[in-house]
Structure formats: C-alpha cells, structure tokens
C-alpha cells in the first residue's frame, strides 16, 4: 500500500530525514516510536506532502511521487489517498459533529446531503458518538473530539491513515477511548501508520514496530522483538527511558 524509498528532507541546514525506507502492506498496522525530534512527524507529513521532501520517492497504491520531479496531479492523488489525524483535533468549531464529517463529502466529493449524512452516521456509530451528532465540538470532551476527528479522516475513504501522536494532547483518562477506536480500525484491517508514545498500545495493536532516531530507522520488528529483545543499543536506551 505504501512504499517509501530513500526519502530525504531538510529544513535549511538541518537534515531531518536521512534516507528513510518503509513498506506498509495493505491491512498492516505499523507503529513508529522514537525520541522527540527524531523526524517522526516530518515523515508522516511528507507522506501527505504537507512537507516537501528533497529526494526519494513515495508510492501509495501505485501512485508514485518522485520527490525530485513532483507534479501537481500526483501530489493531489497522494493527498487524496491518505488521511492524517493529528495530536490536536482541529475540528470546525462552528459546525456540528455531523457537519464536521459531511463537509468534505459534500464539498470535495460532491455527494448529496442525504448520502453524506448516511456515511457520517455510520462512521459516528463506529466511533461510538452517534448520540452527539447534533452537538458542537466545544460541548465534547477531548477524547470525544479526537474520535470525531478520526471519523472525519475516514470519511474520505483513505487507503492509509496516518496518526501523529493521536492521544498525547489528552488527559490520561481519555486516552483509552481513542486508542480503542484505533484498535477497532485495526481489527477492520484499515492500513495505518501510527506514531505514538503509548507503548502498551503499540505492543498490542502493531503488526510491526519501528524505532526511529535522528532521521533514520534504527531497528524494526514485531512488537515482541522490539519490546522484549531489542538488538540496538539506542533502542534499548530509549525503551529503558520510556518503559
Ligand atoms: P518528532 O515528530 O520525532 O518529534 P519532528 O519531525 O517534529 O520530530 O522534528 C524533527 C526535527 O525537525 C526537529 O529538530 C524539529 O525542530 C525540526 N523541524 C520540524 N519542523 C520544522 C520546520 N517547519 N522548520 C524547521 N525545523 C523543523
Ligand atoms: Mg512529532
């Protein structure tokens, strides 16, 4: 589904991605862990072309973007095939929960209001918030807002969902409900690439865990391999600090 080859990204003189290679298969859940500043967000943002990489290639379900030779139709196709869920949920404040989800269906995908409502309601059932459909985001908890954001990201029927620390802005007691929604998507075989600091969650949801440090992938393996017998000293040190 996703195939990244030798991706490089710098901000001025600061090299942030130093040759990243990554394959994510259809239906696979890959979790990236690593210290702050190691380039995890930049990698996710580059996949969605929110950041412009200098070289390498990104391919999603056959659409290939060559970073040194990008064209706008490929960029648009790439963006359309992915959805991103951020740490802060960024819902439209003056739209109801339902409208937050139907907006892009009606405006971008040109669906009728009825059809958009049906899709949005089905997604609200999935994230357990159908009873909140007419409320405004401000009346919802952070965890509920993030669940709406996840439903919204799914509305465009993405081939891949990118999660960038989806629970790190939440109060601890609200983390579980969001992780459970992501677990449910994993169970439904949604292809996902997730950056998280929730190691317990990573352990039980990931098909594969990647440890990233200083712009490169240091080590990857099954959750068991990474969490119980990491091979690299940097992985060991990081896990020792966070576990
Ligand atoms: P992580 O998500 O792993 O914490 P980031 O990808 O956010 O790491 O950041 C990696 C490095 O790139 C950091 O040193 C950060 O300061 C730098 N960086 C990120 N975004 C920008 C930007 N827009 N301009 C300049 N430097 C940036
Ligand atoms: Mg980050």
Q: Which residue's alpha carbon is nearest to atom 24 within ligand 1?
A: 11
Q: d(Cα 95, Cα 202) in Å, to the nearest integer?
A: 33
Cβ neighbours for 145, distance < 8 A, ≥ 6 positions apart: 89, 91, 137
The reply to whether ligand 1 has any atom less than 6 angstroms from the CB of 36 is yes
The reply to whether ligand 1 has any atom less than 6 angstroms from the CB of 52 is no
Cβ neighbours for 8, distance < 8 A, ≥ 6 positions apart: 15, 17, 18, 19, 53, 54, 55, 56, 67
DSSP 3-state of 164: strand
Q: Give tens-digit pLDDT for 25-76.
A: 999 999 999 999 999 999 999 999 999 999 999 999 999 999 999 999 999 9
The secondary structure of 43-82, three-state, reads: HHHHHCCCCCCCEEEEEECCEEEECCCCCHHHHHHHHHHE
ipTM rounded to 2 decimals: 0.98
Ligand 1 centroid, distance to 60 Cα (angstroms): 24
State the burial class of residue 22 (Cβ atoms within 10 Å of its Cβ: 0-12, 13-18, 19+).
Answer: buried
Ligand 1 centroid, distance to 169 Cα (angstroms): 18
Ligand 1 centroid, distance to 198 Cα (angstroms): 20
Q: Which residue's alpha carbon is nearest to atom 5 within ligand 1?
A: 39
Q: Give tens-digit pLDDT for 86-125.
A: 998 789 999 999 999 999 999 989 999 999 999 999 999 9
């Amino acid at each position: 589904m996703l195939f990244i080859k030798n991706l490089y990204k710098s901000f001025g003189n600061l090299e942030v991605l130093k040759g990243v290679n990554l394959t994510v298969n259809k239906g696979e859940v890959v979790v990236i862990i690593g210290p702050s500043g190691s380039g995890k967000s930049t990698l996710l943002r580059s996949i969605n072309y929110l950041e412009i990489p200098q070289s390498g290639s990104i391919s999603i379900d056959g659409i290939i973007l060559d970073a040194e030779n990008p064209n706008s139709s490929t960029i648009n196709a790439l963006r359309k095939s992915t959805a991103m869920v951020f740490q802060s949920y960024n819902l439209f404040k003056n739209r109801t929960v339902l409208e937050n989800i139907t907006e892009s269906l009606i405006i971008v995908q040109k669906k009728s209001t009825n059809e958009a409502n049906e899709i949005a309601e089905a997604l609200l059932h999935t994230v357990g918030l159908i009873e909140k459909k007419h409320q405004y985001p401000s009346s919802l908890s952070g965890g509920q807002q993030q669940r709406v954001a996840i439903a919204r990201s799914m509305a465009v029927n993405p081939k891949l969902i990118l999660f960038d620390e989806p629970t790190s802005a939440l109060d601890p007691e609200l983390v579980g409900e969001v992780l459970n929604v992501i677990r449910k998507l994993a169970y439904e075989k949604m292809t996902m690439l997730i950056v998280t600091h929730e190691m317990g969650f990573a352990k039980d949801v990931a098909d594969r865990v990647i440890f990233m440090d200083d712009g490169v992938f240091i080590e990857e393996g099954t959750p068991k391999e990474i969490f119980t017998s990491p091979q690299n000293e940097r992985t060991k040190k990081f896990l020792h600090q966070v576990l």
